[in-house]
Amino acid sequence: MAQVTALVLRRGILAVFLLGCLGSAAELVLLGHDEDAKQFIPLVLFGLALALIAAFAASGSRAVLRAFQATMVLFVGAGLAGAWLHFQANREFQVEVDPSLSGWALVSKALQAKTPPALAPGMMVQLGLLGLAYAYRHPRVDRSS
């Protein structure tokens, strides 16, 4: 019974992960998130993750699963870096608009800015954690199960 529950949960996590990747990638493409090389990073990571999931489904290879896990760590890093870059861009814009802004008022304005949304890259962190949860002690490669 517990193995069936774990299988259903693992498949559910994978489904949410895949929907999140496809939806986020579509949104970035539609928003024209391609002004410089840094903006391609999430799209490259989405493509790499999807390719690795397909390769793992076909092979069940431990090496492919480890590559997927490494990619999920990159997702988390990219999400944190993206949030910082979005925040910095918003902060610079707010200072241009109102040079008297500083301290918490500036941070607050930068976080509340609509473009670019400062916390939107947090989705990469969430997806990375979901991917890691999916891969954790995966029964196709876990020797202890």
pLDDT score recorded for residue 143: 67
Contact assessment for residue 53 and residue 68, using Cβ atoms and an 8 Å cutoff: yes
pLDDT score recorded for residue 140: 84
Comparing 101 with 132, the larger pLDDT belongs to 132
pLDDT digits (tens, 9 = 90+) for 54-108: 999 999 999 999 999 999 999 999 999 999 999 999 999 999 999 998 899 999 9
Average pLDDT over residues 46-60: 97
Inter-CA distances, 26 with 11, 29, 30, 53, 86, Å: 22, 5, 6, 18, 19
Beta-carbon contacts of 12 under 8 Å, excluding residues fewer than 6 positions away, are none
Residue 75 and residue 53: Cα distance in Å, rounded?
14
Where does the pLDDT of residue 35 fall: very low under 50, low under 70, confident under 90, or very high at 90 and above? confident
pLDDT score recorded for residue 141: 82
